[in-house]
Every structure is written in C-alpha cells, then in structure tokens.
Structure 1
Amino acid sequence: MHVRTGGDALLRPDDGDAFRQAVRAVRRGAGMPVSFGGQAAEGALRLSELAGVRTNMLKGLQVRAAAGLGGRVLTRGRPAAVSDYASSLTISHDYDAPVLAEGISSVVAAPVLVGGAVRGVLYGAARGAARLGDRAIDVVVGATRQLADELAVRDEVDRRLRLLRAAESTGPREQVALEEVRELHAEFRAIAQGLDDPALRDRLHHACDRLAGLGSQGEEARTASLTPRELDVLSQVALGCTNAEAGNRLSLRTETVKAYLRSAMHKLDVHNRHEAVVAARRQGLLP
C-alpha cells in the first residue's frame, strides 16, 4: 500500500489502491472475466487498474469525456451498458482497437460519485457470446458505491486535518485549538470504525493516540488499559454527548454505550462520566 506523505494528505493512502481493490471485487462478485477502471481528473479518465486482461492495450488508456462507454458515463454520471460493443450505436468507437483486442463484447460501466462529482469509473466485461445480466450490473454499481464511501471518508479526514493545521497557524488561540483537537480525536475514532481498510483504520487510531498526547494533561502515569470501543465512547462523552448521541455517532445501541462506559469507569476507578473523562485525560488516554 502506498501512502501519500506530502501536503494535506499525510494519512491518506494512494487512492489507486482503493480502485485496485474495487476492480478485483467487481471481477469476483459476478464472476466476470474482465474488470478494469481508474480515476478521473481534468475531464478525462485514466484506466490504471485491470484484472483478467490478456493484453496491455487498456493499461494507461486515457478516455476522453463523452468518448466510448466510459466517456459517456464520465459525462452523464450514470451507469451504462452495451450488449455488443463492436456494433453498438449508442457509443462512439474511439477505443475499439484496445477493447476488441481483449475480445470484449458485453460491458457495463458505472461512475464513482463523491459529492456529486465523478471521481472514476469501474467496468465489468464479458468476452465472446457471453452477456452480462442484471446481477453483473448490480455488482459493478455496488462496488462503485462502496468505493465512493471510502473516498468520502478519506476526503473528510483530509478536510479536518487542514482545519487543525489552520488552527495551529493562527496564533495564540490555545483553548480553541485544544477544543478542535478534542473534536478531531472523537471524529477520527468514529470514522475509523466505519473503514473497511484495516491499514487506514490503524493509521487513524495512531493519529488519535498522537492527538491524545497533544492535548492531554499527562499528570499521571497510565494505569488503565481501555479497549478501542471504550475509548470511542469516552471520546464522545468528553465532547458532552449523551449516551444516545454517542450511540448515533458510533452506530451503537444506547445500552451498548452504557456498558462500555461502565467498563471504562471501572477500569479508571471512578464513579461518574465526568470523573472518567478527567481521569482519562490525566493518563493521556484522551486529549
């Protein structure tokens, strides 16, 4: 896995890795012989991820807006399919050479939509006389939605990191910055729970530990060992959330939140939620 280390994307893995996983999921999901896709930028699509191909002719292909099936999807922002690529009258045939060299006949393509913008396109294809049915279309569309959710989470993490850096550069607003650290800590822990990428989830947890160290009081040696879920709940409580609000943010039932909170209080040897937050901050578990 590649991780960008410059600028505002310190924690963000290369989005190409996410597209690669999605392309493989498309091929596995409906048993399609060929799947491919790539990211969109500046009104064009670059095919960078391929599975099941026989040639290198699709690799790195730049698909222009409105050109071919992918260009049509890129422009309209909606899934599209053709049952016989070579004779289809609904698309242009700018890319017949690389497509037909693969023996591809039936193709479905769907956009990866994030915030209304097309960030890429995924394709599933069959060769020869084989035809792709509704199942294949559902798999491709489902993969694009899951990929879009992943990219949206990464975008939100980047946005909040930029906010934190902006707060750090505006001068002596220590209390405002501290509150932002605490909000980021709670938000990152909530976001981490919804990630399918374990590497990114671990990186977010590591970032949370760093944020806790930045804002913590650090007055006592760490004596309590809280589970990730107990810390998730306590980070929300530290922002003043009720049990129900914490549950909504973490996708947990209220009773489950209460159970985690009771367990954290027991480990911290305190008697109420306020004391639990104070004790956790003193031990550097929370910012």
Structure 2
Amino acid sequence: MQFIIQRMADPATEAGELPTDELLTAMAEYNRALADAGVFVDGMGLKPSSAGARVHFADGVPVVTDGPFAETRELVAGFTVIETDSREEALAWARRWPALDGDGQVKLELRQVFELEDFQSGPGVDAHAALGERLRRQPTEISPRLAFSGDCREAFEYYADALGGHIEAMVTHGETPAADNVPRDWQDRIIHARLRVGRWILQGGDMTAECYQRPRGFSVQIDMDDPARAEDAFGRLADGGEITMPIAETFWARRFGMLVDRFGIPWIINCNKPETEGGDPA
C-alpha cells in the first residue's frame, strides 16, 4: 500500500526560504534509507503558494485565484511517497523524518493512497485499469540508434555542435570487457554514443564492415518552432551531405526539407505552421 507523507508549510517555506545544505544532506540520507529499504516511490518539495494558484469551480465554471494564500498551516510544502506493507510501517518512517527540518517543529501528515481494489468494479474502474496498463507498457525512453562505419565519434561531435546538444557518453570498443575480441585497429571506434538535445536523446555506434548497412527506410526528424532556426539546422546538417528536398515553405509547414548528411544519415527538418494557419496541431 502507498502512503504520502505531506510536509506541511510554515512561514519559512511560504517565504521561499531554501533549505540549508545541512538539511539537504539530512533529507538525502533519509531518502537513501527509504530507497535501501525498498519503500521509496517519489518525493519533492513545492515552491511557496505565491508561485501557485487555486482553481475554484462555481456551477461548473472555473475561477482562478492567484497565490499567496493566508492559511499557511493548511498548505503543503512538499511530499514523499512511500510503499509499505502497513500503516504502522509508514508511520514508523514518518517518525524518522529529519529533526533538522523546521528547527524540529515540522508538521507532517500521513495519507494513504487509494488503490483500484478499494473501489467497486464498474466501467469507471475498468477505464482507470486500462489506462494504468497502457502506462505500464510505455518505455522509459524511445530514441533512434544510428549505425556508422567507423566515424561515429566525428558524427556525434558534429551533431552536438549543429543541434546545440551535449554528449553524455562516448565509449570505445577498447574500453569494454570485450576489447580482446575486437581487432586492434577497431579499439578506438565507438560502441556506444549518447547525445542529449534538450529532452531528446540520440544514440549510435560504429559497426564493422561485415555488420554495417547504410541507413535506409527511415529519417531522423527534428522540429523547430522558428523558420530561421529550421534553416540554420538544415544548413548545418546538409554541409558536406546531399540535399534530397530543399528547405522551403509547404502547405503544411513554414519550412520543410530533407537531406542525407555527410555520414549517410537521413534527416527531415520541419517547422509547422501555427494551427490557425492550417498547420498540423501536433
């Protein structure tokens, strides 16, 4: 069963005072203990109510009221979600909350989370169960993995510059436990590269001649919200490559173009028209 340990607000949290490094360390140790016991699910702190709002419904009509709100002691400043076998176990963890918090005067509230099994079977419960199952099928991440014939390092360094990203990983064959099984002239080739561009991930690696196949049947599409940015990205990626469709305005996009870069990777650069102009609302 899951429980939420609500850390109630106080004048300090409502004033936006940040926790000291000492308190952050104590909270990290507390969360680590939860994780080591296998009961930690999630947890985070909330900004003061001055940064929030309330939405009241009057006869079905939403009315928004901006913070801050006066009743400080009734507000929530943060929460930790845990999963335990009993209410008593959850309370035991709540009692272990760091005493440094709130100068020892912190107020916590323990609330149990409803499970679908708590409700009577019916279409509503079935709908929630179906949604839960759908979310469980979703992977943590979906990202293209590109194959190269030996120039993965050069390609990813180029992509990082062209797209304003940063390389998170660049592992050579020689750095892996399988290094002895790789030819000497292949030791410095890349077995795994990972590039982050904002929230998006691009991965890749080098493949030996007998395994490598030139990419086909797909394109890596990137979307820009500004025509000038789309043209800049197109120009950078097309440098030394082959333009298969010059970037231009189309009936659905302010800019759209297709190319194969110097490393043999096909790209689509798209800049949708606003929905009001008849573009794709997605």
- TM-score over 0.5 for the pair: no
Q: What is the TM-score with the length of structure 1 in the denominator?
A: 0.27
Query: Which structure: greater strand fraction?
Result: 2
Query: Which structure: greater helix fraction?
Result: 1
Q: What is the TM-score with the length of structure 2 in the denominator?
A: 0.27
Could you say which structure has the larger radius of gyration? 2
